[in-house]
Structure 1
C-alpha cells in the first residue's frame, strides 16, 4: 500500500515512517480489511477482533514508551520484553504465552496498586482467541502491529480509529441484551456537552459508561479550552467487564494518558452505591452524562439495594434518581430516559415530583425516533442542575423548556444517521447569545411553568412544543418487528420465572 501500512516486511516498514500521516478512517479500514481477508469471521466476531486489536496496541505502545530516550521513557506496565517476546511466538506457544500475559496483567489482586489499576481494567477476564486461531493472531501481530511506530500516529486519529471500529460493532454490542448495552451517537453527545457547558475545570462522570463514548465526548469538549487535564477529570463505571475493557482502551487511545495512571473506569454496579460513581479519588463530580440501560435481561432491579431512593422502579428511573440524589449541589446532569419515565405511574411519578422539587430541571430534549440501533424505544434527555431545597418550600425548578426534535424526524444509525447540524437549532435555542434567561419560544421550543407541571395528572412530563399534530412515527417495518420480538422475549422470560416458582403439584 502507498504508505506501507499492511506490509509484513519489518525492514521495509521501518524505512518508511508514514505513521504521522495516518487518519482514523484509514487505520480502521485496514484493520477491517485484515479481518475480512485474513481471519475466519465465523470463528471471531467483529467485537472480539476489535478487542484484540486494542490489547495489542496497548502492549505495543507500552513497549514503545519504555524505549524512548532518557527522561521521556516510561516504566512499562507489562513485564520487560513482553512485546518483543510475544512477536516471536506462534502456535501453542503463542496461545500459552498470550494467555499468561493477559492473566498477569488482569490480576485483580494487584488492582489496588495505583500503577496497575489501568492494566487490571483493560485485561480483566480477557480471553485470547481459540488455539486454532493462533496463525491469524500471529499474522495480526507481525504484519499489522509490530512493524510500525504507533506513538508517531496522531493521538486523535488513533482514538478515532478505535471508536470507529467500535461503532462498526454495533450489531455485536446490541446482542449484549443481558446488560442493556447500546451506542450513543456522537452528535447527540456533542450537543449535550455544549448545553451543559463542559469545560476544563469540570470533573465528568458516567455511571453506566458502556464503551466510554460519553466520557470521550466530554474529554474533547474540555480539551478545546485547555491542553492539560488532570487524570481525575473523567470517571466512569459499568457492570459489564467487557464494556469496561473497551471503555478503558477507548479512553487510553484517545487521550494518550500514561498506562500507570489510576484507571478512570471501574467495574461496578452503580445502583448499589450511594456515591455518584465508584472511584478511589475524592474529587466531587461537577457534570454527569448518562445513557443508562433501558432494559436488561440479565440483571433485575433489587428493591433492597438503596434506602435513600425516593421510590424503586426500572433501570432508567433508578439511574435518574441515583444521580439526582448523589450528585453534589451545583452539579449539572444530562440523563437519557425512555418515554415511560416521563409519563409512567408508580415509582416514576414519585421520582418526577421529587426531581422537580430538588433539582432545577431546565430542559427536556425529545430525541428523533430510530436513533438507537435496533431499539424501538423512544428516547429523551433530561437536563438538570442539583439544587438545594428552597427555604420557602418552592420547587427548585421554575420552568421546564421542551425541545421537540422528534416530530417529523426519523433517523437510523446506518441509512440516515444523525449529524451535528441536526442539533444546531437545539443548542442555539438552549444557549441564546444573551444567556439562559433570554430563551424564547419557537416552533420546536416551549416553556412550561413548574406549577403547571406539578398540577398535571401524575406530574406527567410527556410534553410537546408548538407543533401541529402528526402521526406517530413508529419506525420501519423491520424496526417494529424487532421491537415486537423483544417484547415477546421479555414476556416469555417473565412467564418462565413464574412457571419455575410454581409447585410441582
Structure 2
C-alpha cells in the first residue's frame, strides 16, 4: 500500500466521526493510540524475533478485538488509563489519554476494519512515516483546534536543517518540539549524509540520546513520540526521546551542540521569568532563571534566552522567531544586545506570510553560533539578512511553500563554507556589528526591498491573497491587543489588592 492510499484509507473515516463531534486532531490522537497497540501486537507475535517485552501491550490490542460493542468503551478507557502510567515512550504516548469516540459501533469499526486488517509493521518506515506526517498536516489545518501552532512547515524545516548540517557526533535538541518535525529532519539528514559510515556506537546513540525534544502539551508530545516510532527512529518499548515538561521552568541540564526550534507564538505568558539580577513584584507564577539576561513575560524572548543558555560550546542554533523579537524594546533590546555580543549572530531569514498553519504569523529564522568567550570583544561581526518576504505571497492550499522556493537562500547561505565566501545579492545583504548596535533599540527588523505589488497596478495580488493577508494582519493585531489587555488587567488587580 502506498502513502496516498494509506492516508486516504485512514482519513476517510474522519468525516464519519466529525458528525459525532470528533475534531480532526482528536481523530489523529485516537489513530495514534490504536496504531501503537496494533504495531505492538504485530511485533510481539511475529514468528521471527518476537519482542516479548511488548507482550503485555499486545494483549491490550487483543482485548479490544475480543470485546463486545457494549464492553468496548470500558475496555478501551481502562487500556488508556493503565498504559498512561507506564514509563518510557509508552507513558508519553498514553499520558492523560482519553477516548473521544463515544459510539461503540464506530470505535469497533475503526479497530477491526480500518486498522486491524493491515499489517502496519510490514509497511516501510518511509510509507508509515510519510502517511503519519500527512495526517498531522491535515490535523494542523483544523483552525478551531489550534493544532497549527505545533506544526512547522516541513519545507522550512528542511531548509534550516540543510543550512545547519547536523552530523553523527552532534547532539540535537528542540525545546519546543511540537510534533517532532525538526527532530525527524535532523535524523534523516544524518542518515542520508553519513549512513554508510556510521559506527555501531553512533547508530546506537542516534536512536537513544543524540536527538531529543521537549514538549509542554501532552497531546502534542504523544504525536511527536509516535512520529519517531513510525519513522523507525525508536522502538515502541524504548525510552522516550520526547520529554513532557515546561522547558522554561528550570535551567538546562543537557547542552546540545545543535538546537533547531520554532517556539510557540501567541499571547504573552502569564508566567514571568526572573532573569539576571531581576526582581518582579507582580502576582504571577515566576521562574527563577539566573542564567537569563532579563526578566520578561514574552514567551518568545524567554525561549531565545533558554536556547542561548542550553547550547554547548561550540554550538549552533536555528530558531524561528516572530517579528516582535527583532524590534521590541525593553527586554527585547536587552536580549538582542547580549545575543549580538556573546554569540555569533550571522544570518537572518525574513519569512513570507501565508506559510504557517497558525494565522497572523510574521516570522523569521535567526541563525547563531555559541563559541568560547572573547574578552572585551563582541562575537558577532556581520549579520547577513535574506529578505524572502517582500514580493513573495504563499497560501496553505493554492500556493504552498515548497523546499525549492528556499533554494536561493540555501545557496546564498553556503552551508559548510566560510562565511567570507558569501556574496551580496538583491535579497541578501550584510550588516556590520557597528551598524546593528547603532540602530534604535538594536532593531534587527531590517528591510530594504520594495514590494512590486505596491508600485505596479498590473501586478496587484489576487483578491483571495489580499483578503488572507488582511486576516493575518488583524489576527496579529488582536494577539497584541490581548497581551496589552492582560497586562492592564494584572495591573488593575494588583492596584485593587493594595
- What band does the TM-score fall into relative to the shorter chain? 0.7 to 0.9
Q: Aligned partners of 1:121, 1:71: CA distance in 2, in Å?
A: 25
Q: Please say if residues 173 and 182 of structure 1, whose CA atoms lie closer than 8 Å, have aligned partners that are also in contact.
A: no
**2:419 pairs with one of 436, 441, 448:** 436
Task: Give the TM-score, by structure 2 length.
Answer: 0.87
Moved more, 353-362 or 71-80: 71-80
Residue 260 (structure 1) aligns with? 237
Structure 2 matches for 1:338-357, cutoff 5 A? 338-357=322-341
CA distance in structure 1 between the partners assigned to 2:265 and 2:402 by the alignment: 24
Q: How many residues align?
A: 465
| Aligned residue among 395, 412, 422 for 2:405 | 422
- Partner residue of 1:366? 350
Question: 2:470 matched to 1:477?
Answer: yes
- The superposition leaves residues 39-63 of structure 1 with CA deviations (integer Å, 9 ceiling, x where unpaired) of 3434211111111111111011111
1:145 Cα deviation from its structure 2 partner: 1.0
CA distance change for structure 1 residues 42 and 480 in 2, over 3 Å: closer, same or farther? farther
- Aligned partners of 2:112, 2:97: CA distance in 1, in Å? 21
Q: Deviations over 1:311-351 (max 9, x none)?
A: 12311111111111221111110111111111111011111
What are the within-5 Å matches in structure 2 for residues 9-408 of structure 1?
A: 22-36=1-15, 38-71=16-49, 73-76=51-54, 78-107=56-85, 110-111=86-87, 117-130=88-101, 132-172=102-142, 175-176=145-146, 181-227=149-195, 228=203, 229-275=206-252, 284-296=255-267, 299-303=270-274, 304-305=286-287, 306-313=289-296, 314-391=298-375, 393-408=376-391
Contact 2:165/2:416 (8 A) holds in 1: no
Change over 3 Å in CA distance of 1:99–1:362 after alignment to 2 = same
Q: How far has the Cα of 1:233 moved from its partner?
A: 2.2
Q: Distance in 2 between matches of 1:44 and 1:295?
A: 25
Q: 1:397–1:77: structure 2 CA closer, same or farther, 3 Å change rule?
A: farther
SS at match of 2:265: coil
In 2, the alpha carbon distance for the partners of 1:430 and 1:83 equals 49
Kindly indicate whether the alpha-carbon contact (under 8 Å) linking 1:374 and 1:479 is maintained by their aligned counterparts in 2.
no
State whether residues 301 and 315 of structure 1, in contact with CA within 8 Å, keep that contact through their aligned partners in structure 2.
no
Alpha-carbon spacing, 1:78–1:172, altered in 2? closer, same or farther (3 Å): farther
Deviates more, 1:255-264 or 1:325-334: 255-264
1:176 is displaced (CA, Å) by 3.6
Distance in 1 (alpha carbons) for counterparts of 2:92 and 2:8: 27
After TM superposition, give the deviation of residue 226 of structure 1 in Å: 3.9
Give, in whole Å, the separation in 2 of the partners of 1:307 and 1:83.
48
**Hey, what's the Cα distance between the residues in 1 that align with 2:441 and 2:485?**
30
2:396 maps to 413
> SS state of the match for residue 136, structure 2?
helix
- Give CA-to-partner distance per residue, 1:152-188, whole Å, 9 cap, x none: 11111111111111111124466449xx934211110
- For the 8 Å contact 2:266–2:479, the answer to whether it is kept is no
Separation in 2, partners of 1:434, 1:243? 36
Q: Deviations over 1:274-302 (max 9, x none)?
A: 116xxxxx6x4111011111224775334
1: CA distance, partners of 2:467 / 2:343: 32
Q: CA 1:474–1:400 in 2, change beyond 3 Å: closer, same or farther? A: farther
* Higher percent of residues as helix: 2
Point out where structure 1 has 5 or more consecutive residues left out of the alignment: 1-21, 112-116, 277-281
CA distance in 2, matches of 1:102, 1:41: 24
User: Using the alignment, how far apart are the partners of 1:206 and 1:343 within structure 2?
Assistant: 24
For the Cα contact (< 8 Å) 2:214–2:243, is it kept in 1? yes
